[in-house]
Structure formats: structure tokens, C-alpha cells
Structure 1
Amino acid sequence: MAIRVYSVIVENKSEARRVIAEVGADAAGCGWMAPKAVHRLVMLDGVQPKQANIIKQEMLGKGGEAAVARGVVDHSVAETKVLLMGTLRQYEHFLAKLACQPFGLADLARRIKEALDGQEGFSPYDLDCRGKTIRLGDKTLVMGILNVTPDSFSDGGKYADPGWAVERAGQLVADGADIIDLGGESTRPGYTPVAEEEELARVIPVLKKLVQELPVPISIDTTKAAVARRALDLGVHIINDQWGLRADPALADLAAAYGAPLVLMHNQKGTDYRDLMGDMVEFFRESISMAQQAGLPREKIIIDPGLGFGKTAEQNLEALRRLKELRCLGQPVLIGPSRKSTIGKVLNLPVGERVEGTAATVAVGAANGAHIVRVHDVKEMVRVARMTDAIMGRWDEGSEK
């Protein structure tokens, strides 16, 4: 019989151990060889030549590689990016040596290790949402959108009446929503900001009923601490901040004081980036630090790349393609692609005809590491998420009928 030859792809040590075990290696061998089977690329930005030369020397010495700018050797450049390339085993030895070096490289070694650890993914865990619990990591959760605004881009005005809004929320839960996200201010392109009093007038009558009648956690979609505080006092479970603490940093203190999970969304004015994902990761690191300094545990922080916010259509598509790169932060990821203008531009379709496009973004997002998807069409997207979960190996045969 001819020897068969084929490719195998592993993304983390867990998958590597599984593949090695299939060869017939013993448990000790699997544990020893797994770090050699996982190859990682890590980008460093803003490195001084004196640091870059040491980094390259140490990485080469461990059998890995480090790409630097041509002018690093003779210091003809002020700074450089450094692309590290190596197996987890090589990184292990490299980081041990880097931690002994001067010029701030010991702290850099710690940060590189954090990025590598994040790429391994986190173990599923129960997130306490002020008395209601959601399980993160076992399956893709679906957050149903409930806008009580007259000018939202997709459903503006449809659920401004509190009675209709509560009925709609009940239907979303019946369709499979794991979370309901309530918003009282439109954030569509060209939106008109509303005053705190107006936002409260829109959401509070609805929220009073939702927290009493729905079995799932309710998220308040707001950038205003005063609105969030009133919502928390009424029993809301999660804060969803579309400016990642940049519009109102007091939201961090509120989340910590009330023990509420906090969604930090990436957002900016304009669409200029040095590197899309690199800039986004740095934004999140700063926002996460702000939340932690306020006293919020890291496990209660969720990050959102902000599809449709401060990005062109091409950048939104790139963010979806590169979503796995956010794993370096080690945080659960939420995406909100539902009916967005990028879908309209790609397919040349109006808002009401973007269900299939949304389904594609949900599938790709879930496959690339999104733990929560925020959508309008809950019934359809629950089916897409479950099918994607099954393809990705996140399926309990006895749980779905």
C-alpha cells in the first residue's frame, strides 16, 4: 500500500495533543511534542533598533526567526516592527532569555507571553450577570437587538411603543435569544445624539417590564453613565458601551460597583489606521486597563471589534477575516454585523434584504472566534450559529432536536 500524504492544521496545544495522540504517542510524548507542533506569529510595533537586534539574536538562537527593518543593524531607522516566528517551544526558551535582557525587554517578554497564552483560547466559564448566568465558550450565544428609537437604521420606530417593545423582546427570546440588548439612541451613520433625559424616557418604561418578564439577561446599550446607573438600579444585567469607555469613563466604575459585565466596543472618529488589528488590540488593552483599575474583574469584560464603526466596508471585512487575532487579549468576543451597510455595499441590497449577508458574517464570525453575535433576525441566526458550532466541533448531539 502506498504511503498517504496529507496536511494537518492545528491552532493550539490542545489540538496538537489530539493529533499527536492519534499517531499513537503516549501521554508524556503528547505533552512534550505539542508545543513543537504549534507555530505562532507575533508582531511587535514601535521597537527601537537596540531592542530589535537583541530580540532577533535571541529568537534566531532558539531556532525561530524575527523579521526586522533593513536599517536596524546600522541604526539608520528610529524604530521598526518586528515579526516573531516560531513554535511555542521556541518561544518558551526565547522568552526565558528575553526576560533577562535590559532596555525594557523583560516587561516585553511578559506581554508577549500574555499574547501567546491568549491565542490558546480560554476555557468555557459561567459569567454571572447580576444574578443571571450565561455560559461563554461552549456555543455561540445570540444577543437579540431591541431598539426603542425612532431613527435606527434598520428598525427605527417599530418598537418605540413600550408594549410593542416588550412583545418583540418576548418573541426574540422565544426564537432563541440568549441576551436582549436594549438601546435608546441610534448610532447609525449620521445619527443625531439624544439628551440623557430623552434616552431615559425611551428605555426605562420598557426596561421595567423586561427585567420582570424575561428569563434571559438584559443588556443596556448606552454610552452614558447616568442612563446605565438608572438601568442598573432597575435590574439590568449587562452594560454595552459603544465607545469602549472613551465617551464616559464613569461606566467602568458603575460596572465594578454593580458587578455588571461590561462590553467594550472599538470605535473611533475617522477610518485612518496604522494597522487595523494592531490599533484595535492597543485600544482594547487601554480600555481593559481602565475597567480593571476601576475594580472590574477581567472575566467580566467582553470586547467587540465594532463592525460598522470608524471603519470602511473593506476594513469591516478585514476585521472579520482577522478576528482570530483578537484572541491574544484572552477576552470573550462579541460581534454586531447584523444588516450593516457593508453587507448592503457588497450585495447591493437595502436593509430589509440583508438576512443572507448577515448569516454569512455570523458564520464566519463564529468560526473565527466570536462568542456572542448581536443580531436582529434571531430565529435565523440561531440556526446559523448552531450549524457553525457543529462544523467547528462545538455540538452536543443530544442537545439539539
Structure 2
Amino acid sequence: MTLKLGRHSFDDSATLMMAIVNRTPDSFYDKGATWAEDKAFDRVAQVVDQGAEIVDIGGIKAAPGAEIDAEEERRRVVDFVARVRAAYPRLVISVDTWRASVGRAVCEAGADVLNDAWGGHDPELAQVAADFDAALVCTHTGGVTPRTRPHRVEYVDVVADAIRHTVGEAERAIGLGVDRDSVIIDPAHDFGKNTFHSLEVTRRLGEMVATGHPVLVSLSNKDFVGETLDLPVGERLTGTLAATAVCALAGARIYRVHEVVETRQVVDMVATIAGRRPPTRAIRGLA
């Protein structure tokens, strides 16, 4: 299927890098390195040069922390989205928000994708995507409250639950008017899950791909990688790339990442091994 992200379209063989741009002073990974607007804009320029097709701009860290109301979230992201839109008309702009009021404001400023990382917590967000012909990411969080950590969450079958919820949210969005080609599903590693759950959805990601909806994975430096390898945040790249390779072989379409170049190389190598992509050049033994 053609993947339609706002004003941008990609054919069914395309795999896309979604580079993370945090407009927060307290993100778990970069510790506020792109909190200042000019630093965040420099990050956008960097990832565009590295080949990212999408930037995902977020104004609130996912983990518990200081309360950020909708007005403050808008202040952090809306004008920045407008600045990026003006500078990069061909770039796909995603905004990581669960609030419909923020979603409406960023779509007015030029956003193409609403990345609802908290699983439909605000049911009005899907209608905003429909109103603006924007794409929508539907995630599985097990029903947890935004910005809370999972505590002894249990599933009979975590993958079945992820499929049931994300496909249900996807169909609801389509019913509201979101283009079917603009709905993406995400198992949401770590969100509402312990490490065993995240490992299982990685191992069985092909079942989500088989739904026919394009699948986004957000693996970069997640706790399930850190706990598996007993590594802190700054040392999880190799584990992240291993999980990326598994998801790429299963057919994930979009990769939400901190490290664009390394992830692109892994995804392209896996796609070529799988026969979905030709080598960039192949002269060994032929020339």
C-alpha cells in the first residue's frame, strides 16, 4: 500500500527513518541537548543531512516528571513546527502528543503526522487527524495513564492485545475520516510493558505487520534493551540495532530513532538480504 503522511506519499517498498527531536529540558536520552530552539533546529538540519525522511518533535518527555499542561506543550512545539515547515517543505513533520488541542495547533502550523504515543488517551485526537488530512500513529500502551511507568502489567497474550487495540484504534480513526493509507500502528516498546513483553512483541512483530497496517517501531535506547544487556542509556546502540534488524526482517516500515545513519544501514542491509532491496552496487566477480 502507498503510505500517505500528510502532503507526502511513499511507495510500499519504502522504509522510513523518523528522527527524534526533543523540545524538552529533561529527556531521558539527550538530557535537554535540544531544549533551546536553535539547538533543536540544528538537530533537524543534522538528521535531514543524514537522510531522515521524518522528524518527530516532542514537547513532553514520556517518563514521569514536572507537570506540563497543554498551553506549555503548545508553546514548546507549535512555533517550532512552523519554523521547520518553512525551512523544509519536503520533510515529513510528526509531533509526539496525546492531546487533541495540541494536535490541532501543530497541524495548523504544518505538521503531517500525529504520533499518539499514549494509545488514544484523548479520543478527540483521531478527529483532529481526520480534519487536517494528517496521518495518525496508533499505539498500544495497555491503557496506562500518560507519563506513568508500568507496574506489574499482565497480559494473557501481549501481541494479541497490541493487535486488538491498535487495529481497533486504526479502524476507529478510519471511520472518523482518516485516510486508510495514513494510519500506522506501533506496539510501543516499554510503554505499558515490562522487558519480557517488549522482547515478545519484537520477536512476533510479523503478526502486527500481517494486519496490513504499516508498523512503526520505537526501539532506540529503550529500557528493554538496557535491561536485556545490563547497560545504561548511553551504551545501548548495539542492542538497539540488533532489535532493529529483527523488526526490519519482520517488515516494519518506520523506525523512530536517535541514530539515523546506523539505523538506516541496518534496515537497508536486512531489506537487501530479505530480497526486498537490491544492493546499491554489485560489481564483485562481475567487473
1:203 matched to which residue of 2? 77
CA distance in 1, matches of 2:52, 2:72: 27
1:251 matched to which residue of 2? 125
Q: Aligned to 1:180, what secondary structure does the other structure show?
A: strand
Could you tell me the TM-score, scaled by structure 1's length?
0.65
1:286 CA drift (Å)? 2.1
CA distance in 1, matches of 2:280, 2:61: 40
1:352 matched to which residue of 2? 234
**Structure 1, 362-371 or 293-302: larger mean CA deviation:** 293-302
CA distance in 1, matches of 2:214, 2:277: 19
1:24 matched to which residue of 2? none
CA distance in 2, matches of 1:348, 1:141: 29
Q: Is the Cα contact below 8 Å between 1:343 and 1:358 reproduced in 2?
A: yes
Q: Does 1:235 align with 2:110?
A: yes
Of 278, 289, 299, 2:181 maps to: 299
Question: Which structure's relative contact order is higher, taking Cα pairs within 8 Å and 6+ residues apart?
Answer: 2
Letter in 1 for 2:203: R
1:387 matched to which residue of 2? 269
1:213 matched to which residue of 2? 87
For each residue in 1:258-286, what CA deviation from the matched residue of structure 2 results, as whole angstroms up to 9, or x when unmatched? 11111111112342112111111111232
1:192 CA drift (Å)? 4.1
CA distance in 1, matches of 2:247, 2:111: 27
Q: Is the Cα contact below 8 Å between 1:139 and 1:389 reproduced in 2?
A: no
1:272 matched to which residue of 2? 154
1:383 CA drift (Å)? 1.1
Q: Does 1:185 align with 2:60?
A: yes
Q: Does 1:318 align with 2:194?
A: no
Instruction: Summarize the alignment of residues 120-135 of structure 1 with structure 2, pairs less than 5 Å apart.
Output: 124-125=1-2, 127-135=3-11
1:364 CA drift (Å)? 0.7
**Structure 1, 233-242 or 190-199: larger mean CA deviation:** 190-199
CA distance in 1, matches of 2:281, 2:175: 40
CA distance in 2, matches of 1:193, 1:261: 27
CA distance in 2, matches of 1:198, 1:399: 49
1:149 matched to which residue of 2? 24
Q: Say if 1:240 and 1:322 are closer, same or farther in 2 by CA, change over 3 A.
A: same
1:134 CA drift (Å)? 2.9
2:136 matched to which residue of 1? 262
1:11 matched to which residue of 2? none
Q: Is the Cα contact below 8 Å between 2:138 and 2:183 reproduced in 1?
A: yes
Could you tell me the TM-score, scaled by structure 2's length?
0.90
1:128 CA drift (Å)? 3.1
Q: Which structure has the larger Rg?
A: 1
What are structure 1's unaligned runs of at least 5 residues?
1-123
For each residue in 1:119-154, what CA deviation from the matched residue of structure 2 results, as whole angstroms up to 9, or x when unmatched? xxxxx42x333322233x314211101111112111
For each residue in 1:196-218, what CA deviation from the matched residue of structure 2 results, as whole angstroms up to 9, or x when unmatched? 01111111232121111123100
User: Which 4+ stretches in 1 moved above 4 angstroms?
Assistant: none
RMSD over aligned Cα atoms:
1.8
Letter in 2 for 1:134: F
Q: Is the Cα contact below 8 Å between 1:140 and 1:389 reproduced in 2?
A: no
Letter in 2 for 1:287: E
CA distance in 1, matches of 2:66, 2:210: 35
2:98 matched to which residue of 1? 223
What are structure 2's unaligned runs of at least 5 residues?
145-149, 283-287
Q: Aligned to 1:329, what secondary structure does the other structure show?
A: coil
Question: Alignment length, in residue pairs?
Answer: 274
Q: Aligned to 2:256, what secondary structure does the other structure show?
A: strand
Q: Aligned to 2:162, what secondary structure does the other structure show?
A: helix
1:358 CA drift (Å)? 1.0
Of 160, 169, 183, 1:287 maps to: 169
Q: Aligned to 2:57, what secondary structure does the other structure show?
A: strand
For each residue in 1:368-392, what CA deviation from the matched residue of structure 2 results, as whole angstroms up to 9, or x when unmatched? 1211111001111111111111111
1:363 matched to which residue of 2? 245
1:161 matched to which residue of 2? 36
